[in-house]
Amino acid sequence: MPETARQPRGEPHDGPFLGDFVCFSIYSASLAFNRVYKPLLAEMGLTYPQYLVMVVLWEGDDRTVGGIGEVLSLDSSTLTPLLKRLEGMGHLTRARDSHDERVVRVRLTPAGRNLRLKARVVPGCILEATGMSMDELRRLQGEIDALRRNLEAANG
């Protein structure tokens, strides 16, 4: 699918070209990562987005829905049902803040905190699957983050 392009920046052209394919590469890599994570996380009964929320909470408990959404760039229409599922599994509680009833505070249960132990093997497996060194990954991550920031800036 990759095909080198020769057009100058911003001008129309006949076919698809590089700008598209960086996106396709990322899209496709994202799906590929998901397929690697799925069997690992299935042992904990988690999906990847659910795992991300748990990681965020392990890093810092007692957050609001919006606070979690800020870290993950997801909004309440995605998070509310996801959090309800995690609540249903007994990993966290959702409760309105008594000082501001608009806010829902999300807190880990002991079971949710405990799940972190089971999750300890995950990053090593993922690292293994990438087939890359930590240094390579660190550098690559930096570049992708820079790209994401540019995209977010361009989007307003």
- Mark the segment that binds a second copy (CB under 8 A) among 61-69, 85-93, 100-108, 122-130: 122-130
Q: Which does 80 bind (CB under 5 to 8 A by kind): DNA, a second copy, none?
A: DNA
The DSSP symbol for 62 reads: S
Closest to DNA by CB, 134 vs 154, is: 154
- Residue 5 or 129: which CB sits closer to DNA? 129
Alpha helix segments (H runs only) across 16-133: 18-42, 48-59, 65-72, 76-88, 110-118, 122-130
Instruction: From the list DNA, a second copy, none, pick the one residue 114 interacts with, judged by a Cβ distance below 5 to 8 Å according to partner type.
Output: none
Question: Quick check: 115 and 73 in contact, CB under 8 A?
Answer: no
* Residue 99 phi, psi (nearest 5): -85, -25
Give which of a second copy, DNA, none residue 155 binds (C-beta under 5 to 8 Å, depending on kind).
Answer: a second copy
Please, what sign has the CA dihedral across residues 58, 43, 73, 78? negative
CB of 86 to a second copy, least distance (A): 16
Of the candidates 1, 40, 36, 33, the one whose C-alpha atom is nearest the C-alpha of residue 17 is: 1
For DNA, the binding residues in 90-149 under the rule CB under 7 A are 94, 99-104
102 binds, among DNA, a second copy, none (CB under 5 to 8 A by kind): DNA
Pick out residues in 70-99 that bind a second copy (CB under 8 A). 71-73
